[in-house]
C-alpha cells in the first residue's frame, strides 16, 4: 500500500517536472523564434526605429547666390546669423544657466529663467541676432541643453539702392519680388543633408559613419546695372520728386546699341531689409508695371509714320491755325499760338494742332503699324516679372476722333520702358533691341553659366528716316520745348511730353493732374546713352520741358563726367537693310586707371553727398563756412584736374539766399503757372501784375540774380479756349 502511494507521488512529481521542462523548452523556442523574427525577418524595420530614436537627418540650407552690378560689385549679400535655443528638459540647473547666459547675451536673468523652466516643451528660443563672439563664448560654456543655431539672412550693403529691381526674400528665403523672384531657381541653390546622433544627455554630434550630401550654393546673378549711374539716377530723381511734390517718378537709362538697362529707378522706393514695413506699391518696378498716356513723346511715332509713308517732308508747311482747331466737337490747342510751321517746326514746338492734322492725314493702319513696330502694346520681354503690355487699339476699334488723339499721345497706354526702347531704336540707327537687365549667371566659383547677348528685334526705320528724325529731336533741344535738356558741347536729342491724366470716375481728363516726361539721348565717341524721365503728378510746374528735361540734363551731365569710369559697350549690334537679325561683336576694351578726372558740379547739393561724390573719384575735400548745401566749389565744375586735387567747398544754409546767383529764365510767352514754377525751381519769387500769359519780365532773361530775389511779371489774359483735348507739350 505504501509502495503504491510512493509510486503515485513519484509519477505526479515526474509529470510536473516534464510539464516544467516542456514549458521551459517551449519558452525558449518562442524566444528563439522571436529573436529569429526580429534579427532575420524584421531587422530592417527595427533598425529604422532605433535610428529614429538616436539619429536625425537635418536639411543643410544652401547659401543663396549673390546679386552683382555689371562690374561685379555685390548689391545683395548673405550675412551669417546666430541664435540661442534650449531644451528645458535637459538643462539641469536652470537658475545657474540663466545667470551665465545673461552675462553674454545681455538678456535679463529672470526672462531667461522663465524660458528655461517652461513645461511640456522641448524647444525654446532664448536669443536672436548674436554676434560670432557671443556664439563662441556660449559654446565654451558646454551647458547641456543649450544649442547655437546658425542661420543666414539677406543683406543690402547699399541700402535702398535699386531696391525695386533687386527685390527681397521671405522668411523661407524664397524670392518675393524683383530679381530675387525672377531668378529664384538660380539663386536658391540645392540644400544638403547631414546625420546627427544624440547621446543619453540629448547632446548632438555629427555622425561621420553615415553618408552626407553637401549643400550646393546658388548661382550669382550679374546685372547690367551700373552702381554709380544707378546712384546718380536715384539722387536726381528723388530731388525732382521732392522739389515738385510729385506722386512718384521713374527714370530708365538704356544703352541703345545693346538694349542693356544701365539704371532704372522709381521714387518713392523702399528698404528691402524691412520690406514688410512698406506698402506693396513701393515694391514695383514702375518702369515695366505702370502704364500712362505718353502725350507728346508719342509724336515721335507719328512723325515716323509720316516719313515712312512719304506723306510729308520735314520742310513741308502746315497751318497751325493760331494754336486752335475744332474737330468733331473737340478743341485741339497749343500752349502758344502758331501760324504756318514746317513739319519739323511742328515737332520742335510740339504743336498739337499741327500733329493732329498729320494724324488725320495718315491711314489708321499706318499709324497703328508704326506703333507696333516700335514695340508698343506688347511686352518687351525683359527678365523681370510683372511687365504690362500697355494698350494699343486696333484700327477696327478706333472712333472718328482716335487718329487725331493718338497722334498727340492719347488713347494709347505705354510703360516707361516701352517708350525708352522706342527712342533707343532711333538712337541705334533704326534697330529696335530687346531690353536686358541680366548680364550673366555665374556659379559659386565664378564660372559663367549663361551670358546674355544683344538681341535685335527688328529694323523699325531706314537710315535716311533715322537721320531726319534725329534732326527733329535735336531741334527740340536746341530751339523747341526741350531747351532745358541742352548740355553745352554735347549733341543732345530728345522730346518733351506733358499729358493730362484721365479720371475714370468722372469720365474726363483732369486739368490739375499731369504726367511730365522727357526722353532723350546723347552721342559721344565712347558710347550712346538714353535717359527717359517720367514724373507723375508734379505740383506747381508740370510741363515736361520744365520738370523732366532738367532732371534729364543733370543725370546726363553727371554720367558724362564719370570719364573712364564708364566703359564702352562689349557688343555693338548693327543690322543692315538686307541683314536683319545679324549681329557683329566687338571685343571688350579696357582703359587704364585715370590719372586725371573731370570735376563734377556739386553746387546746391548736400555737403555729405558732395563730399562722397568727390572722394569716390579720388579728390580731396575742404569745406569753408557753415551750412548744409554747397554754395561754390573751387576749382569750378568741368575742369580736368589730377587725381588727389583738393576741392574747396563753400557752404551755405538753406534758410537764406547765401549770396547764390542764378540765371533769370525766359518767361515771356509762358503761362503764369509755368512761370511761377520755373522761378520757384531756381529759388526765386514772383510779383505778378495782371493774369494769364507773361508778356514782360524784370529782370530780363539771362541776367544773374540772387536766390530769393522777387521778380516782376506783367501778364495779359489769353483769348478764351474751349475745353476739350488736353495739352501734350
CA dihedral 105→109→111→116, nearest 10 degrees, is 90
Query: Residue 419 domain-assigned?
Result: yes
Distances (CA, A) of 523 to 226, 251, 344: 19, 19, 21
* pLDDT averaged per 10 residues, the chain (length 729): 71 76 80 72 64 58 89 90 85 87 88 86 83 88 85 88 94 90 92 62 45 78 95 95 96 96 96 90 95 97 96 94 92 92 96 97 95 96 95 94 96 97 96 96 91 94 95 96 92 96 89 95 81 96 95 93 48 35 34 64 71 82 77 77 87 50 75 75 77 84 71 72 52
Please state, in angstroms and rounded to a whole number, the distance separating the CA atoms of residues 303 and 370.
10
Please state, in angstroms and rounded to a whole number, the distance separating the CA atoms of residues 685 and 672.
12
Query: Residue 319 domain-assigned?
Result: yes
Query: Residue 309 domain-assigned?
Result: yes
> Cell numbers of 453, please?
547677348
Within 13 Å and on the Cβ side, how many CA atoms surround 241?
20
> Cell numbers of 513, please?
493732374
Please state, in angstroms and rounded to a whole number, the distance separating the CA atoms of residues 281 and 285.
9
Q: Give the model's pLDDT for residue 659.
A: 45
CA angle 667-668-672, nearest 5°? 65
Contact 650/625 with Cβ under 8 angstroms? Answer: yes
Contact 647/599 with Cβ under 8 angstroms? Answer: yes
Contact 268/364 with Cβ under 8 angstroms? Answer: no
Contact 494/473 with Cβ under 8 angstroms? Answer: yes
From 514, 532, 560, the end of a domain falls on 560
Closest CA to 111 of 82, 86, 141, 136: 86
Please state, in angstroms and rounded to a whole number, the distance separating the CA atoms of residues 711 and 694.
12
Spell out the alpha helix ranges (H) of 214-268: 227-243
Closest CA to 570 of 553, 549, 584, 550: 584
The answer on 213 and 137 residing in a single domain is yes
Please state, in angstroms and rounded to a whole number, the distance separating the CA atoms of residues 668 and 305.
34
The answer on 693 and 545 residing in a single domain is no
**Which uninterrupted H or E stretch holds 186?**
helix 184-188
From 560, 578, 599, the end of a domain falls on 560
The answer on 702 and 555 residing in a single domain is no
Q: How many residues does the chain have?
A: 729
Query: Residue 402 domain-assigned?
Result: yes
Please give the sequence-ordered ranges of beta strands (E in DSSP) within 635-692, or none if there are none: 640-642, 646-652, 661-663, 685-689
The answer on 296 and 210 residing in a single domain is no
Query: Residue 178 domain-assigned?
Result: no
The answer on 251 and 202 residing in a single domain is no
Please list, residue by residue across 645-676, b when 16 or more beta carbons sit within 10 angstroms of its beta carbon and e when fewer do: bebebbbbeeeebbebebebbebeebbbebbb
Query: Residue 534 domain-assigned?
Result: yes
Q: How many domains does the chain have?
A: 4
The answer on 337 and 203 residing in a single domain is no
SS3 606: strand
Please state, in angstroms and rounded to a whole number, the distance separating the CA atoms of residues 636 and 615.
16
The answer on 376 and 494 residing in a single domain is yes
Q: Hey, how many other C-beta atoms are within 10 angstroms of the C-beta on 623?
A: 15
Which residues pair with residue 44 across a beta bridge? none
Please list, residue by residue across 367-396, b when 16 or more beta carbons sit within 10 angstroms of its beta carbon and e when fewer do: bbebbebbbbbeebebbbbebeebebbeee
Contact 681/708 with Cβ under 8 angstroms? Answer: no
CATH number at residue 100: 3.90.1310.10
The answer on 110 and 31 residing in a single domain is no
Mind spelling out the 3-state secondary structure of 377-436?
CCCCCCCCCCCCCCEECCHHHCCCCHHHHHHCCCCEEECHHHHHHHHHHHHCCCEEECCE
Query: Residue 183 domain-assigned?
Result: no
Which residues pair with residue 221 across a beta bridge? 67, 441
The answer on 14 and 74 residing in a single domain is no
Q: Which residues contact residue 309 at a Cβ distance below 8 angstroms, ignoring those fewer than 6 apart?
A: 362, 363, 366
The answer on 416 and 306 residing in a single domain is yes
Q: State which residues form the domain around 62.
A: 58-161+189-219
CA dihedral 159→180→220→435, nearest 10 degrees, is -100
CATH number at residue 707: 3.30.10.20
SS3 679: helix
Query: Residue 68 domain-assigned?
Result: yes
According to DSSP, residue 703 is labeled: -
First to last CA, the chain: 141
Q: Give the model's pLDDT for residue 716.
A: 81
The answer on 72 and 37 residing in a single domain is no
Contact 438/224 with Cβ under 8 angstroms? Answer: yes
Q: Which residues contact residue 211 at a Cβ distance below 8 angstroms, ignoring those fewer than 6 apart?
A: none
From 528, 560, 592, the end of a domain falls on 560
The answer on 332 and 404 residing in a single domain is yes
Closest CA to 583 of 591, 592, 574: 574
Amino acid at each position: 500500500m505504501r509502495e503504491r502511494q510512493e509510486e503515485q507521488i513519484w509519477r505526479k512529481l515526474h509529470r510536473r517536472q516534464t510539464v516544467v521542462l516542456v514549458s521551459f523548452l517551449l519558452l525558449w523556442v518562442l524566444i528563439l523564434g522571436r529573436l529569429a523574427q526580429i534579427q532575420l525577418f524584421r531587422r530592417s524595420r527595427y533598425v529604422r526605429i532605433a535610428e529614429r530614436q538616436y539619429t536625425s537627418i537635418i536639411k543643410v540650407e544652401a547659401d543663396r547666390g549673390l546679386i552683382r552690378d555689371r562690374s561685379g560689385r555685390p548689391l545683395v549679400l548673405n550675412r551669417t546669423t546666430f541664435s540661442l535655443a534650449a531644451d528645458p528638459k535637459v538643462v539641469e540647473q536652470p537658475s545657474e544657466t540663466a545667470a551665465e547666459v545673461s552675462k553674454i547675451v545681455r538678456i535679463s536673468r529672470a526672462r531667461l529663467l522663465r524660458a528655461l523652466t517652461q513645461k511640456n516643451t522641448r524647444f525654446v528660443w532664448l536669443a536672436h541676432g548674436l554676434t560670432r563672439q557671443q556664439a563662441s563664448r556660449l559654446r565654451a560654456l558646454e551647458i547641456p541643453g543649450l544649442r547655437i543655431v546658425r542661420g543666414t539672412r539677406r543683406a543690402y550693403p547699399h541700402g535702398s539702392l535699386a531696391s525695386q529691381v533687386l527685390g527681397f526674400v521671405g522668411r523661407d528665403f524664397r524670392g518675393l519680388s524683383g530679381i530675387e523672384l525672377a531668378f529664384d531657381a538660380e539663386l536658391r541653390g540645392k540644400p544638403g543633408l547631414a546625420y546627427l546622433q544624440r547621446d543619453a544627455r540629448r547632446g548632438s554630434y555629427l555622425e561621420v559613419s553615415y553618408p552626407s550630401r553637401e549643400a550646393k550654393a546658388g548661382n550669382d546673378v550679374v546685372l547690367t546695372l551700373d552702381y554709380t549711374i544707378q546712384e546718380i539716377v536715384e539722387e536726381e530723381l528723388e530731388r525732382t520728386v521732392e522739389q515738385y511734390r510729385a506722386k512718384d517718378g521713374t527714370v530708365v537709362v538704356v544703352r541703345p546699341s545693346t538694349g542693356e538697362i544701365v539704371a532704372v529707378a522709381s521714387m518713392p522706393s523702399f528698404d528691402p531689409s524691412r520690406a514688410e514695413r512698406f506698402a506693396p506699391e513701393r515694391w514695383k518696378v514702375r518702369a515695366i508695371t505702370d502704364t500712362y498716356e505718353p502725350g507728346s513723346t508719342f509724336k515721335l511715332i507719328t512723325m515716323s509714320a509720316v516719313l515712312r509713308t512719304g506723306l510729308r517732308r520735314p520742310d513741308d508747311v502746315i497751318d497751325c491755325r493760331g494754336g486752335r482747331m475744332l474737330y468733331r466737337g473737340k478743341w485741339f490747342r497749343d500752349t502758344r499760338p502758331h501760324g504756318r510751321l514746317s513739319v519739323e517746326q511742328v515737332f520742335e514746338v510740339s504743336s498739337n494742332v499741327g500733329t493732329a492734322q498729320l494724324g488725320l492725314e495718315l491711314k489708321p493702319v499706318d499709324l497703328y503699324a508704326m506703333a507696333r513696330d516700335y514695340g508698343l502694346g506688347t511686352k518687351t520681354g525683359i527678365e523681370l516679372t510683372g511687365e504690362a503690355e500697355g494698350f494699343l487699339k486696333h484700327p477696327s476699334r478706333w472712333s472718328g476722333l482716335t487718329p487725331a488723339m493718338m497722334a498727340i499721345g492719347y488713347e494709347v497706354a505705354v510703360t516707361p520702358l516701352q517708350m525708352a526702347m522706342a527712342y533707343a531704336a532711333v538712337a541705334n540707327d533704326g534697330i529696335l533691341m530687346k531690353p536686358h537687365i541680366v548680364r550673366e549667371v555665374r556659379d559659386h566659383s565664378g564660372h559663367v553659366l549663361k551670358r546674355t547677348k544683344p538681341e535685335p528685334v527688328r529694323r523699325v526705320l531706314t537710315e535716311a528716316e533715322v537721320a531726319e528724325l534725329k534732326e527733329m529731336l535735336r531741334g527740340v533741344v536746341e530751339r523747341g520745348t526741350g531747351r532745358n535738356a541742352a548740355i553745352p558741347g554735347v549733341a543732345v536729342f530728345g522730346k518733351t511730353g506733358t499729358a493730362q491724366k484721365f479720371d475714370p470716375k468722372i469720365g474726363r481728363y483732369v486739368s490739375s493732374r499731369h504726367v511730365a516726361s522727357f526722353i532723350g539721348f546723347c552721342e559721344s565717341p565712347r558710347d550712346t546713352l538714353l535717359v527717359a524721365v517720367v514724373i507723375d503728378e508734379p505740383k506747381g510746374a508740370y510741363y515736361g520741358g520744365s520738370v523732366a528735361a532738367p532732371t534729364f540734363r543733370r543725370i546726363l551731365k553727371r554720367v558724362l563726367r564719370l570719364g573712364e569710369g564708364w566703359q564702352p559697350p562689349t557688343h555693338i549690334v548693327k543690322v543692315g537693310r538686307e541683314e536683319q537679325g545679324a549681329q557683329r561683336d566687338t571685343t571688350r576694351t579696357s582703359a587704364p586707371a585715370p590719372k586725371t578726372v573731370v570735376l563734377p558740379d556739386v553746387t546746391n547739393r548736400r555737403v555729405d553727398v558732395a563730399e562722397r561724390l568727390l572722394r569716390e573719384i579720388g579728390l580731396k575735400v575742404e569745406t569753408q563756412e557753415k551750412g548744409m548745401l554747397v554754395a561754390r566749389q573751387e576749382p569750378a565744375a568741368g575742369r580736368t584736374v589730377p587725381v588727389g586735387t583738393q576741392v574747396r567747398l563753400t557752404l551755405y544754409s538753406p534758410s537764406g539766399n547765401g549770396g547764390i546767383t542764378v540765371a533769370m529764365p525766359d518767361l515771356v510767352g509762358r503761362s503764369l503757372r509755368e512761370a511761377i514754377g520755373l522761378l520757384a525751381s531756381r529759388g526765386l519769387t514772383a510779383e505778378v501784375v495782371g493774369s494769364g500769359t507773361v508778356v514782360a519780365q524784370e529782370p530780363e532773361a539771362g541776367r544773374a540774380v540772387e536766390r530769393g530775389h522777387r521778380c516782376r511779371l506783367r501778364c495779359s489774359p489769353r483769348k478764351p479756349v474751349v475745353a476739350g483735348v488736353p495739352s501734350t507739350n
